[in-house]
């Protein structure tokens, strides 16, 4: 009989079991002592993860006046899986909502997640919060999360500042930073500078007892992260000028755009009718937005950047500048005018004839600028009229027409300068200066925005160049961005050619026949040009562009009052008052101011 020795095999098996046991002990020690992730998971039912929302950056005007600040508010959060023994009627009463609304919100929260928090009631005001928070211990699964609401100390500049609202699914899909219940800039500066204004979220882990009462930070806050507040912005807007412009435009439809020619910063961007930006804040935002959307006066439309108009007589000077640069005319070129009997374009009134360029601008003579435009397109330096037109077109593009400026001005409209291809398609390639003669007087297919008109005035004031219009002046702790916005664009027209145009615009205020001579300001040497723009849908639009002071412009502006008739009746006096207010900080013509303030245009 063979006796086998199994001791060696037993030792091997024993060693394996001991090794496995040691591995389990080491792993258990690691999980319980070193790695607390499983411990945290087991405690999820008593830990609350609260997002710490940063305060959005504040917004100031160019003089340091506050335009937008933050006010405390609170979102009521819910974790449906933790809601037990709920007195629905009591909580609905405290929140000021019906039982049906309460049920709808709870269903929405359950669809989101039974175990993750979501917003049950957004933007509860501080006063309501103080009442409700004392009774929150009764409502397990509910808690408040601090937020901030935007507030506007002055009810101005709604379209510039924009508003914020809750993110939608598209926002969340585009950017993983956002979660359901977050807020985002929806329009204006709030939208364009969202990343700078929003800051960076933090996280706070809080222990909660079975009665939904907070017991303090978990493990002394070692898992907490602090929020980083958004950066403050300083705009180029002059708050006082913006407010004054909005007052002058009350009861009227139209816009005002004022630009600093030295920097391209927008001083005022007025659209009328407008609205109080506080209407689109908090829980009232949705209802008020719908009311504004359905308002027949269309207050949500920013006419200053989205409205397009034929430029009318204000455009004649720019046709002249192209002709001067190309040698098609000189400032001493004379053309005759037979008044309303002129062909192919009649004049609106009788005046001296023949006349040179300066007098033609002063009298806004249609036949003069038709002849100027014809000479430009029949210039012998070009092989044909289409080549000459292409050069004219490219110059208009350099003037800032027919395209967006693409700075920080949201929802900007490009306007329209018709191209050679457009006319080739329209007229089957058979067209010439006579065919498109309406362009010579700023009518036809040409469309410009009030912003573009103000920029043209700035270009004339600067004798041939402009800085691209923009809203931002300075971002907190960021000098690079503002510098990038300050781009100088050359018009391609020599500075000397601007002198006759500038002198003619000066005569609009100071000349014996100037259309704005009634609004002459002895203390402010200003230059301007009236326009009366044909409107197929009603009365003509009243238009005016200007810059001042004449020798060293500090403001350039455009004013459009829709359906108001002659440019000298409404647009010119409004522009005159604005320049006086901005440059002298006073108004010396109270009677004129009162007429404008009380005047309404139906």
Express each pLDDT in 125-143 by its tens digit.
Answer: 888 888 888 888 889 889 8
**Residue 498 and residue 246: Cα distance in Å, rounded?**
32
**Residue 48 and residue 146: Cα distance in Å, rounded?**
14
Phi and psi at residue 159, to the nearest 5°? -75, -30
Indicate whether 354 and 446 sit together in one domain.
yes
Q: Rounded to two decimals, what is the model's pTM?
A: 0.86
Indicate whether 144 and 277 sit together in one domain.
no
Indicate whether 225 and 354 sit together in one domain.
no
pLDDT of residue 36: 53
| Percent of the chain scoring above 90 in pLDDT | 61
Residue 338 lies in a domain: yes
Residue 212, pLDDT above cutoff 80: no
For residue 320, give the CATH number of its domain.
3.40.710.10
Indicate whether 208 and 250 sit together in one domain.
no
**Residue 553 and residue 463: Cα distance in Å, rounded?**
10
Indicate whether 214 and 358 sit together in one domain.
no
**Residue 124 and residue 55: Cα distance in Å, rounded?**
16
| Percent of the chain scoring above 70 in pLDDT | 94
**Residue 179 and residue 204: Cα distance in Å, rounded?**
16
Secondary structure (H, E, C), 66-101: EEEEEEEEEEEEECHHHCCCCCHHHHHHHHCCCHHH
Indicate whether 313 and 228 sit together in one domain.
no
Express each pLDDT in 475-518 by its tens digit.
Answer: 998 877 777 888 999 999 999 999 999 999 999 999 888 889 99
Residue 8, pLDDT above cutoff 70: no
CB 454 within 8 A of CB 557: yes
- Decide which of 386 and 181 is more confident: 386
Indicate whether 496 and 525 sit together in one domain.
yes
Strands 254-259 and 233-235: unpaired
Ranges 46-55, 219-228, 250-259, 477-486, most confident? 250-259
**Residue 210 and residue 137: Cα distance in Å, rounded?**
9
Residue 168 lies in a domain: no
Residue 295 lies in a domain: no
CB 508 within 8 A of CB 530: yes
- Dihedral over Cα of 329, 333, 338, 339: its sign: positive
Residue 409 lies in a domain: yes
**Residue 217: domain span:** 47-159+197-235
- What is the total count of domains within the chain? 2
Express each pLDDT in 271-296 by its tens digit.
Answer: 999 999 999 988 788 889 999 999 99
Residue 4, pLDDT above cutoff 60: no
Indicate whether 219 and 268 sit together in one domain.
no
H/E stretch holding 27 reads helix 7-29
The DSSP code sequence of 133-183 is GGGGGGSTTEEEEEEEEEE-SSS--HHHH--EEE--HHHHHH-TT--TT-E
- DSSP 8-state secondary structure symbol assigned to residue 57: P
451-478 average pLDDT score:
96
Indicate whether 72 and 127 sit together in one domain.
yes
Indicate whether 219 and 205 sit together in one domain.
yes
Residue 191 lies in a domain: no
Residue 535, pLDDT above cutoff 80: no
Residue 245 lies in a domain: yes
- Dihedral over Cα of 162, 65, 570, 515: its sign: negative
pLDDT of residue 44: 47
Indicate whether 377 and 492 sit together in one domain.
yes
Indicate whether 312 and 389 sit together in one domain.
yes
For residue 94, give the CATH number of its domain.
3.90.1310.10
Residue 6, pLDDT above cutoff 60: no
pLDDT of residue 181: 79
Residue 173 lies in a domain: no
Express each pLDDT in 93-119 by its tens digit.
Answer: 988 889 999 999 999 999 888 887 888
**Residue 332 and residue 318: Cα distance in Å, rounded?**
17
Measured between alpha carbons, how far is residue 345 from residues 42, 330, 336, 363, 371 in Å?
86, 21, 12, 15, 10
Residue 503 lies in a domain: yes
Mean pLDDT of the chain: 89
pLDDT of residue 362: 85
Residue 374, pLDDT above cutoff 90: yes
């Amino acid at each position: 009989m063979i006796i086998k020795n199994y001791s060696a095999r037993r030792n091997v098996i024993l060693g394996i079991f001991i090794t496995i046991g040691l591995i389990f002990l080491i792993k258990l020690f690691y999980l319980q002592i070193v790695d607390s992730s499983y411990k945290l998971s087991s405690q999820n039912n008593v830990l609350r993860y609260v997002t710490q929302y940063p305060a959005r950056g504040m917004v100031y005007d160019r003089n340091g006046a506050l335009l937008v600040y933050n006010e405390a508010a609170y979102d009521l959060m819910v974790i449906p899986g933790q809601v037990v023994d709920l007195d629905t009627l009591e909580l609905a009463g405290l929140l000021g909502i019906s039982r049906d609304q309460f049920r709808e919100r709870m269903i929405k929260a359950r669809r989101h997640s039974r175990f993750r928090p979501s917003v049950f009631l957004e933007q509860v005001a501080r006063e309501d919060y103080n009442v409700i928070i004392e009774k929150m211990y009764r409502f397990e699964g509910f808690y408040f999360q601090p937020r901030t609401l935007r507030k506007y100390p002055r009810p101005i500049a709604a379209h510039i500042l924009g508003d914020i609202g809750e993110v939608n699914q598209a926002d969340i899909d585009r950017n993983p930073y956002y979660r359901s219940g977050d807020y985002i800039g929806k329009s204006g500066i709030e939208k364009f500078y969202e990343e700078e204004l929003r800051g960076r979220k933090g996280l706070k882990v809080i222990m909660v007892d079975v009665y939904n009462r907070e017991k303090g930070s978990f493990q002394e806050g070692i898992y907490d992260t602090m929020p980083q507040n958004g950066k403050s912005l300083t705009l180029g807007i002059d708050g006082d000028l913006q407010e004054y412009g909005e007052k002058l435009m009350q009861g009227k439809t139209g816009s005002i755009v004022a630009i600093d020619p030295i920097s391209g910063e927008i001083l005022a961007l007025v659209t009328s009718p407008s609205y109080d930006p506080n209407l689109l804040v908090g829980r009232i935002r949705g209802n008020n937005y719908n009311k504004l959307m359905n308002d027949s006066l269309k207050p949500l439309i920013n006419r200053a950047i989205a409205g397009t108009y034929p430029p009318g007589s204000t455009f004649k000077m720019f046709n002249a500048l192209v002709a001067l640069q190309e040698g098609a005319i000189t400032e001493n070129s004379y053309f005759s005018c037979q008044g309303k009997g002129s062909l192919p374009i009649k004049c609106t009134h009788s005046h001296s004839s023949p006349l040179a360029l300066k007098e033609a601008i002063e009298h806004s003579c249609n036949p003069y600028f038709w002849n100027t435009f014809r000479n430009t397109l029949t210039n012998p330096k070009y092989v044909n009229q289409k080549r000459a037109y292409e050069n004219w077109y490219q110059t208009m593009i350099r003037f800032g027409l027919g395209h967006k400026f693409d700075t920080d001005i949201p929802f900007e409209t490009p306007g329209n300068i018709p191209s050679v291809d457009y006319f080739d398609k329209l007229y089957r390639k058979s067209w010439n200066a006579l065919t498109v003669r309406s362009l010579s007087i700023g009518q036809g297919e040409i469309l410009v925005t009030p912003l573009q008109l103000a920029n043209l005035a700035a270009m004339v004031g600067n004798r041939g160049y402009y800085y691209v219009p923009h809203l931002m002046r300075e971002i907190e702790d960021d000098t690079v961005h503002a510098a990038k916005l300050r781009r100088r664009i050359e018009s391609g027209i020599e500075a000397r050619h601007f002198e006759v145009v500038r002198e003619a615009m000066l005569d609009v205020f100071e000349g014996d026949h100037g259309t704005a001579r009634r609004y002459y300001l002895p203390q402010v040497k200003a230059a301007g040009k009236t326009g009366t723009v044909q409107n197929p849908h009603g009365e003509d639009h009243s238009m005016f562009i200007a810059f001042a002071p004449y020798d060293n412009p500090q403001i350039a502006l455009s004013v459009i009052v829709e359906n108001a008739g002659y440019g000298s009746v409404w647009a010119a006096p409004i522009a005159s008052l604005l320049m006086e207010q901005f440059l002298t900080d006073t108004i010396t013509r109270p009677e004129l101011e009162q007429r404008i303030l009380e005047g309404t245009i139906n």
